[in-house]
Amino acid sequence: MNKMIKLAAVAAATASVALGAGTANAATASATATAEILQQVAVTKTADLSFGSLVPSTSASASVTVAANAAGTRNCGGLTCSGTPASAAFTVTGASGLAVTVSGLSGLTALTGPGANMPISLSGSTLDMSSGSDTLYVGGNLTVGANQAAGSYTGNFTVQVDYQ
Amino acid sequence: MTSIRSSRLRGLAAGALLSVAALTATTASHANDLLVAPTRVVLDGNRGTEVILNNIGTEEADYRISLELRRMLPDGSLAEVETPNAAEQAALDMIRYAPRRVTLPPNQPQAIRIGARVPPELADGEYRVHMLFRAVPRPTPVTAETDDSAEGFSIRLIPIYGVTIPIIVRNGDLQVTAAISNPRIVRQDGRESLSFTLSRNGDRSTYGEIVVTKPGVDIPVVRARGIAAYAEIGERTVTLPVSEEYQGSLAGPVRIQYRAPESEGGGLIAELSATLQ
């Protein structure tokens, strides 16, 4: 239902554009109404990447990994973990099933905060658009230093769905 | 839907209070979602066109539209370009578009006008940029969830997500031929997939649909639209998963066809009949 509304919105926008071009030729007696159906893509975020709750080790730095799959499977390495991890999820819907690739995830290399930077690397799942829609999962590997200083750490990461 | 989401948020807030070192989950509001149509633009000389950007989220969002450069790698992925070459710089210089920033309420479409100003002395060839549409996240208000606690730390990973579509300008009478070779069965992400080499010869890109059929089977066992081989590479690998109902049955004789899209006549670009092991 929601998708139908989106399609209608695009179709309506396109139709009005085409009609606008037609009315420029106001002298002719007959007018042609055209509506072009455009191949569209929609990207919606359905979940955020979360490592759950972590307690830094007092002796050594350690890495926690969240897999780029639906389960967001977590490997705590040498850390004490609790809470619910999650991979980030983006629903990519292309009405025409055109193939896409994903770029941009390698741009984020560290989280910044009050303590030392925490190295991070992100990875994404492969999108199969042949059925018209698929979910892109983004996981990551985060290294938490020994006695990592408390506070708020942030990082912006980019996800781009590239059409060929 | 809304009530489910808000009750989940309350659960998260309660969890954060209890845990010693809470890594905060950001709110799952549908801000910054977007729809773009069409997903590929080929400009014909100096005639312009329009691309529709629609805010399909539930909140007002600020979108930015920019031009990027990509180069196709042998595996078919598109790599970002740090130092543009002469042709890429010429492509950046000739594309005109507006607006470049737009704030849209939910379900508000906006047309982005695109045109090319082709300099008269421009060498024949295909020029390409990738137009990036993305929302710029707004600063989120500080809540109890993001407060620093003396004992723990929180992590916020903010995604900036968007879509790139190719904008292609062709100058002069350009030719291209393509061929398919080296078909083989591979496993990708645990699924049986077909991989082959798509080679290209000429001064422009190829673009179209891959259809793989088996004798006696009406439905294609592999089908993928929107497969390009860009002018900067002579050959690339294409790897496509076999459809769910034909998993495990790819071996044997197949016919691989590469066809132009319907909008460009649907003609056959390249074809290969082979027997897969």
Among partner residues B22, B40, B151, which is closest to A163 by beta-carbon distance?
Answer: B40
Among candidate residues B52, B113, B266, B111, the one with its CA nearest the CA of residue A37: B52
B36-71 per-position pLDDT tens digit:
999 999 987 667 899 999 999 999 999 999 999 999
Closest by CA position to B38, among listed A94, A27, A32: A94
User: Taking CB atoms and an 8 Å cut-off, how many pairs form between chains A and B?
Assistant: 225
The average confidence (pLDDT) of chain A is 80
| Strand blocks (E) in B143-234 | 153-171, 176-188, 191-202, 206-213, 222-229
Whether residue B162 contacts residue B34, with contact meaning beta carbons closer than 8 Å, is answered with: yes
Determine contact: B152 vs chain A, CB below 8 A: yes
Contact A53 B230 (CB under 8 A): no
Q: A33 falls in which pLDDT band (50, 70, 90)?
A: low
Chain A contact set for B152 (CB, 8 A): 53, 55, 150
Nearest by CB: B148 against A6, A98, A152? A152
- Facing residues of B229 across strands? B206
Q: pLDDT tens for residues A72-110?
A: 999 988 888 888 899 999 999 986 778 888 999 999 999
Which chain B positions have a beta carbon within 8 Å of A97's beta carbon? 224-226
pTM score of the predicted model: 0.80
Which helix (DSSP H) or strand (DSSP E) does residue A47 occupy? Answer: strand A41-47
**Chain A residue closest to B54 (CA)?**
A10
Does the pLDDT at position A3 exceed 90?
Answer: no
Task: Collapse the DSSP code of A154 into the 3-class scheme (helix H, G, I; strand E, B; otherwise coil) and give the result.
Answer: strand
CA distance B83 to chain A (A): 17
What's the Cα-to-Cα distance from B112 to each of B67, B109, B257, rounded to whole Å?
13, 10, 35
DSSP B146: G
Rounded Cα–Cα distance for residues B154 and B145 (Å)? 8
Q: Which is nearest to A48 in space by CA: B155, B176, B201?
A: B155
For B144, the 3-state DSSP assignment is helix
**Whole-number pLDDT of residue B148:** 39
Q: At B88, which helix (H) or strand (E)?
A: helix B86-94
Query: Which residues are CB-neighbours of B35 under 8 A, at least 6 positions away?
Result: A6, A9, A10, A40, A41, A42, A43, B52, B53, B54, B56
- Residue-level pLDDT at B50: 93
Domains in chain B (CATH in brackets) are 29-140+158-171 (2.60.40.10), 176-276 (2.60.40.10)
CA A21 remoteness from chain centre? 36
Residue of A nearest to B112 (CA): A17
Nearest-neighbour CA in chain A from B118: distance (Å): 22
Helices (H), B95-189: none
Mutation for A interface: B1, B20, B35, most A CBs within 10 A: B35
Give whole-number Cα distances, B103 to A5, A14, B52, B107, B139, in Å: 21, 20, 14, 12, 15
Residues B38, A43: C-beta atoms closer than 8 Å: no
Q: Are strands A151-163 and B153-171 parallel, antiparallel or unpaired?
A: parallel
Residue A91 carries which side chain, given as an amino acid letter? T
The pairing of beta strand B41-43 with beta strand B153-171: parallel
